[in-house]
Structure 1
Amino acid sequence: MRFVLICRLLFICTLFLSVESWWFVKSGNSRGCPRRGNARPYYFGTTHLGCMLKGRQKGKRSVPLRGTWDDTHRYIYYRGKYFEFSRSGSRSGYSRLDEHCRGKTERYPAGYSYLSLDCIERCVRRYQNEYGGYNVVSNNCHNFANRMSEVLCRRSYQCPSWCN
């Protein structure tokens, strides 16, 4: 009994160490990425995970700095395109991964960016080379959205070197 309790505590501690401080992150524009010049807004959005999993064939979809532990699928919306990450890899498109599921893009911009769509699409294509494959704990759709937010919030027009 004591061994099981210790194992559970270690598991919980491991989860907290691998999760960023999501309880401090609020929706809307962060002070760290304010509107500047002709920068374009970008948004975080979510889709209910239960809907995405419902009626899917086994293996097609799996349970996937906003919270990295949430029962939603997170994406980034920028310049009319959606940027997402799942077990099947990263993707960009003019529609969400599962359009039949209602998605919710946050009302207020998370930040503003000067970067081109071409740059962000290259980052999305090269994401797994830089950060590795999908992992439900350490590299899920929430981690992807937070990392893409870091890329978008750059104060220059220059694309990050790992995206080239």
Structure 2
Amino acid sequence: MTDRNDAALRQHLVELLKGGHAHATFEQAVKGLPEELRGKVPSGAEHSPWQLLEHLRIAQWDILEFSRGEEHESPKWPEGYWPKEKAPADEKAWDKSVRAFKKDLKEMIALVEDPKTDLFSKIVHGDGETVLREALLAADHNAYHIGQLVLVRRLLGAWG
């Protein structure tokens, strides 16, 4: 791959991770959600905004840490990826989860942008995964659940 193609691929991955071209961004999906609605599960939905936020955070963290090191141990599936509580303990818990998601997203982006990161080499402790695959997985997973968060907000009357 030429340097130009490598740089273009990395930039496309970053844009995909940040989101916002064909759908809402994470920031838009969590911004301004009233505290009293964060633990509500609307009729027809499976999860509250809190449960979706925590799932997004946990899954992205797991993908990032798997991509960075073999010492990482993933949570047990599926219970380790979904909070049992429908609502955050308080506003600080919500804010902490939002900050952690943003921090891990920045770190995933930094990993992708780092020219020392070989996007195509198999992750040593994996089963054939590459950093490219993990970045695509994070972007895809985030887009899916951010879309769910927007839908839940619509059902709660708290979108747009």
TM-score by length of 2: 0.35
Higher relative contact order (CA 8 A, sep 6+): 2
More strand by share: 1
TM-score by length of 1: 0.34
